[in-house]
Amino acid sequence: MLTTLLLLSLSLPTLWTQVLISCPYKSLCQQALLSGNDVVLQCDDPKAIWYFSSILEEDPLLVSSMPNTKRLPGGSLQLTNPQPTQTGLYHCQDSDSSLIVEYELDFQDVTTLHVTHKDLGQKPLQNETLRLGSSVLIFTHWERWQDCNRCEEPGERKRLGYCYIEEPLEKPMPCWLYLRAQKVQFSRMRPELQVEACLVPCDHFKETSQPYFIFDIYRLGKLTNNMWLTCPLASIYR
């Protein structure tokens, strides 16, 4: 079994695609993402310099001092296994210190993912109103449904949702970007995954271009301390 796993992991790097995040020139883009899933932040300048300011500490630091980051030759920044503590502002500038692009990212904790299956009658998290000075709405902002994983036979599809907070008449914001350094923790503040059954006609392109992501849930009891299994491309229901 171990050998099989090893072979599998050796054969996988070609499949290992990262999510590419991009944003228009000289703009600031805000986005929620799942922790533990690699991303590449686009910045097209071979001399690009990246700075990071955490939501907790104001002082920007050079990204090259962060261990799980890599500046790619074209200027983009690769983050491997990003953590919720890496939530904050990623600033890319050129060699004359002028802004090329900025990303404000909220890496929501994948270990708290709330998973529900629609066709098993499981309900996603409900909207809640919180009193944080004024009253704000906390809700899940859903991505679109991904394509069905089978065709011409029963399959399933999934969608990811992120925790967002909305003040009356304001644009909603990813929860941790909204809260900043406020030390509050509500059980409602979690990313979500929803699964549903599907049955679709075949379309070869869609079958082979499904996005996926990685998460682990530690329910292995005593084994938890010395086991780490990830199973890319797998479904938890099949």
Ligand X SMILES: *[C@@H]1O[C@H](CO)[C@@H](O)[C@H](O)[C@H]1NC(C)=O
CB of 12 to ligand X, least distance (A): 37
Nearest CA to 69 out of 61, 79, 60 is that of: 79
Judge whether 32 and 173 are in contact, CB under 8 Å: no
202 C-beta neighbours (distance < 10 Å), count: 10
> What do you get for the CA distance between the two ends of the chain, in Å?
19
Nearer to ligand X, 41 or 163 (CB): 163
Nearer to ligand X, 166 or 196 (CB): 166
Nearer to ligand X, 43 or 125 (CB): 125
Q: How many residues does the chain have?
A: 238
Which residue in the block uniquely carries the two structure tokens 């059954």? 197
CB of 127 to ligand X, least distance (A): 4
Nearer to ligand X, 90 or 139 (CB): 139
CB of 176 to ligand X, least distance (A): 18
CB of 126 to ligand X, least distance (A): 7
Side-chain half-sphere CA neighbours of 188 within 13 A = 17
Binding site for ligand X (CB under 6 A): 127, 137, 139, 166
Nearer to ligand X, 107 or 139 (CB): 139
CB of 139 to ligand X, least distance (A): 4
Which tokens in the block code for residue 130?
């919180």
Nearest CA to 162 out of 144, 145, 147, 175 is that of: 175
